[in-house]
Structure 1
Amino acid sequence: MTELTKTLELKLVDPNAHKRRKLRETRDAYQHALQDAFDAGCTTQTEANDVVVNYDLSGYAKNALKKYVPQLTTTTYNAGDLHDDHPVRFTNEGLRLDHHPENAIEWYVKIPHHEDYHLWMPAQPNPDQRNWLEALHAGDAEMGESRLFQRDGTWYLHVTATRDVEDRSEVSTDERTLIGVDIGEASLVTVCHRDDHGSPTHPELWADEGKTVRRLRKTYFTATRRLQQRGSDRLAESFGDDLWNQIDDVFHRVTREVVEYAESVENPVLVLEDLTYIRESMDYGEYMNRRLHGWGFAKLHAQIRYKAVERGIPVETVNPRNTSKECYACDEVGYRPKQATFTCTNDDCWVGEYQADVNGAINIADRYLSGESRSREHPNDDDSAEDGAHLTAPQDSQADAETQQLTRGTYAS
């Protein structure tokens, strides 16, 4: 069994004026308490408690604040300033799910407002995460912290869930299909494996997606710099959020397709580069460092991993040293005259010129086969509603008996 953690997104469906007001009150009280505790420099939960105890918030929100503020003010985030639109955090006991499959809108969530009042809200989950939500409701997954925030006028909840996923039955190394995964800038992701004769087969490259992400990132850096120079920091932030959301959409689609590629072969194992070595050795000057550090290697890596593990597909990592420079056929160190072209310098090798990213993907897979695996755990991997008649639904109620980065903003995970 493998333990997997995932962030589930639920969209709150058409809250009425009363509920919208209560949500705003909760958000405003939370952000004021967070700002006061942060300004007070609270470094312990006791210090944070002394500040937030008097705010009109549920104990679930206060307890989340007491844990979060010391993280902000110490080495975990070491925030020097505070984003002005933090999500409202609740501890794992705060949220309650209810499921009514006979309704047009099936899911409902209980959101703590303050100590003696809670809101039941209809919610629509990401359809790709339905099985996770059902596992959470059935008690087969464990709920973690939840976060309430507003985006483009719509309220959302992010809920952390952890569950055990069955590994596929063990097969011998000879029976495994090792799929090399090369994450790059030209081709966002490239995957390839060898056939029964040892020849590279069925390579797939997401080159157009690489172009799209490069264009969006260039637009982001150019436009936000100009807006900031004009003093329009808030507009720059909003514009940047929209562009990064578009990039995230590309990442999610591509990583899903990578896992679907793996499912198309027998006994797949996805092999990725261990990014610790890439990021530690990355020093190509200010311009290239900015491009590469912000490219999204780690996010793509994490998304591929958790989506694969969810489907029972093993993921391994290897040291990436020279995987892009060596010839997959003869191991000679060659060179890349163009971004997409690898040239082997061994006159006796039949390869000559080859697609560089495919060459790299095969080298990554081969490195695992040679015994250079560096398996690593990533415990924190983390990644539209319509109107409908309600046949039955839980009602808002008074308190239950059980009520007891730099800056980190709305989309922090």
Structure 2
Amino acid sequence: MTELTKTLELKLVDPNAHKRRKLRETRDAYQYALQEAFDADCTTQTDTNDIVVNYDLSGYAKNALKQYVPQLTTTYNADELSEDHPVRFTNEGLQLDHKPENAIEWYVKIPHHEDYCLWLPAQPSPEQRDWLEALYAGDAEMGESRLFEREGTWFLHVTATREVAEQSEVSANERTPIGVDIGEASLVTVCHRDERGSPVRPELWADEGKTVRRLRKTYFTTTRRLQKRGSDRLAESFGDDLWNRIDDVFHRVTREVIEHAESVENPVLVLEDLMYIRESMDYGEYMNRRLHGWGFAKLHAQIRYKAAERGIPVETVNPRNTSKACHACGDHGYRPRQATFRCSNDACWLGEYQADVNGAINIADRYRSGESHHQNDRTSRQKAGDDDSATDGASLTGPQDSQADAETQQETLGTYAS
């Protein structure tokens, strides 16, 4: 195993005027405390504490200052400070929350002072989603974080450390591609071909798909009923509990996907590339809710970071027509039932086949044909116009700020999200 450390960048999404003011208050208080401690030539944590304790900062920022200020003179030999230092927080300072049902999935709790924290929506860079997911799941360790403003936009830099297995030096041609199909009938389906080209060892998590569908239906119907009654707080609490249960299912299934891959010689997990998936589906309100609510991106992220921990490579392919094409002859077919694929080619031996297994085989075959993309090499490619897979989204509320400052927040914030 190799220990890797990476700095993750989170863009804070459009804080409103109230939250911008609070962020600037934190930054200004930190700057004043830093400057005073530096001017006093503090060389120990005790000396620094005597100064920063008087400032309206959270304990996480004060503890970061107590560690940082002595280093300025004893380690960095600094003669003066730059005008704009980022606000540092110790590793316990930030808290992440993941709302896969929201258009913006990630939220971060930033300490303001001892009794007040700000919840803000945050946008990670796409190539760092798996690291953020590992942090949220507790499979990576959070280090120091830094808050700063750049050209009017607020950012957080978060240090993350995790152990990953070293990948063996195996060429792409020697890899066994395992197609991973994420869907609604079966939450996840995996399958690969043997050396003769025959599909072998398909594995489906259909019961888990039923469980998640049931939990999501309960979420939407119950929370809507509670909201109509004016019980917004109860609806939020109920929704959080249900999404935690869905998250538990996701983690169990993705662990089992990795265990399946480990049982195959020289595996490579092949996923559909979410960069190609259309964001503007319109199948009616009901189907949009079902399709957009699935945690496609979350399942992808969990598979990617758990595979990295085991040294299993992950590749992506264009999802175009993977559920419509016959894996035996390549002609298009149709689904007479949700879980059944029927080939339209009368000369094809396939006839009817399990639809999700057919899709997984097609995904694996895309990699075998050379049509694969590394996770960090996707930004320059345009999205396809006729993909047939869904991504997650929806616009619900995020967590709200701490402190019982209800009247002020109601006037300045309205609903919880910025």
TM-score range, shorter chain: 0.5 to 0.7
Q: Work out the CA distance in 2 between the residues paired with 1:223 and 1:56.
A: 40
Q: Work out the CA distance in 2 between the residues paired with 1:170 and 1:78.
A: 39
1:57 match: 58
Please state how far the C-alpha of 1:56 moved relative to its aligned partner.
4.8
1:180-208 deviation per Cα after TM superposition (whole angstroms, max 9, x unaligned): 00000110000000011100000000000
Whether 1:42 aligns to 2:43 is no
1:369 match: 368
Q: Work out the CA distance in 2 between the residues paired with 1:360 and 1:212.
A: 21
Alpha carbons of 1:234 and 1:259: their partners in 2 closer, same or farther (altered >3 Å)? same
Please state how far the C-alpha of 1:41 moved relative to its aligned partner.
5.2
Alpha carbons of 1:331 and 1:268: their partners in 2 closer, same or farther (altered >3 Å)? same
Alpha carbons of 1:292 and 1:170: their partners in 2 closer, same or farther (altered >3 Å)? same
Counterpart residue type for residue 302 of structure 1? A
1:392 match: none
Please state how far the C-alpha of 1:163 moved relative to its aligned partner.
3.8
Q: Work out the CA distance in 1 between the residues paired with 2:337 and 2:103.
A: 41
Counterpart residue type for residue 40 of structure 1? H
Counterpart residue type for residue 198 of structure 1? G
Please state how far the C-alpha of 1:376 moved relative to its aligned partner.
1.8
Q: Work out the CA distance in 2 between the residues paired with 1:248 and 1:318.
A: 25
2:260 match: 261
Q: Work out the CA distance in 2 between the residues paired with 1:212 and 1:78.
A: 23
Q: Work out the CA distance in 2 between the residues paired with 1:175 and 1:166.
A: 19
Contact 2:176–2:192 (CA<8 Å) still a contact in 1?
A: yes
* TM-score, L = length of structure 1: 0.61
Name structure 2 gaps, 5 residues minimum: 9-14, 33-54, 65-86, 94-101, 116-133, 147-157, 378-395, 402-416
1:17 match: none
What secondary structure, in the 3-state scheme, does the structure 1 residue paired with 2:286 have? helix
Alpha carbons of 1:292 and 1:89: their partners in 2 closer, same or farther (altered >3 Å)? farther
Alpha carbons of 1:207 and 1:161: their partners in 2 closer, same or farther (altered >3 Å)? same
Decide which moves more: 273-282 or 261-270: 273-282
Whether 1:240 aligns to 2:249 is no
Q: Work out the CA distance in 2 between the residues paired with 1:215 and 1:293.
A: 16
Please state how far the C-alpha of 1:172 moved relative to its aligned partner.
2.7
Counterpart residue type for residue 293 of structure 1? H
Counterpart residue type for residue 49 of structure 1? R
2:249 match: 250
Please state how far the C-alpha of 1:368 moved relative to its aligned partner.
1.1
Q: Work out the CA distance in 2 between the residues paired with 1:355 and 1:48.
A: 57
What secondary structure, in the 3-state scheme, does the structure 2 residue paired with 1:42 have? helix
Contact 2:267–2:313 (CA<8 Å) still a contact in 1?
A: yes
Whether 1:143 aligns to 2:143 is yes
Alpha carbons of 1:256 and 1:348: their partners in 2 closer, same or farther (altered >3 Å)? same
1:367-399 deviation per Cα after TM superposition (whole angstroms, max 9, x unaligned): 011111122239xxxxxxxxxxxxxxxxxxxxx
Paired residues, what number? 288
Decide which moves more: 55-64 or 241-250: 55-64
The structure, 1 or 2, with the larger RCO (C-alpha pairs under 8 Å, 6+ apart) is 1
Please state how far the C-alpha of 1:348 moved relative to its aligned partner.
1.3
Alpha carbons of 1:42 and 1:264: their partners in 2 closer, same or farther (altered >3 Å)? same
Q: Work out the CA distance in 2 between the residues paired with 1:256 and 1:6.
A: 25
What secondary structure, in the 3-state scheme, does the structure 2 residue paired with 1:225 have? helix
Percent of paired sites with the same residue: 66
1:321 match: 320
Q: Work out the CA distance in 2 between the residues paired with 1:56 and 1:288.
A: 47
What secondary structure, in the 3-state scheme, does the structure 1 residue paired with 2:20 have? coil
Please state how far the C-alpha of 1:166 moved relative to its aligned partner.
4.3
Alpha carbons of 1:166 and 1:344: their partners in 2 closer, same or farther (altered >3 Å)? same
Q: Work out the CA distance in 2 between the residues paired with 1:325 and 1:4.
A: 41
1:94 match: none
Q: Work out the CA distance in 1 between the residues paired with 2:371 and 2:400.
A: 39
Q: Work out the CA distance in 2 between the residues paired with 1:78 and 1:317.
A: 23
Instruction: Give the alignment's Cα RMSD to 1 decimal.
Output: 3.9
Q: Work out the CA distance in 1 between the residues paired with 2:25 and 2:6.
A: 30
2:343 match: 344
1:402 match: none
What secondary structure, in the 3-state scheme, does the structure 1 residue paired with 2:271 have? strand
Which stretches of structure 1, 4 residues or more, deviate above 6 A after TM superposition? 4-7
Q: Work out the CA distance in 1 between the residues paired with 2:221 and 2:397.
A: 21
1:285-331 deviation per Cα after TM superposition (whole angstroms, max 9, x unaligned): 22211211111011001001100011000000011000000000110
1:221 match: 220
What secondary structure, in the 3-state scheme, does the structure 1 residue paired with 2:178 have? strand
Counterpart residue type for residue 221 of structure 1? F
Name structure 1 gaps, 5 residues minimum: 8-36, 69-76, 91-111, 115-127, 137-141, 147-158, 379-404
1:5-32 deviation per Cα after TM superposition (whole angstroms, max 9, x unaligned): 799xxxxxxxxxxxxxxxxxxxxxxxxx
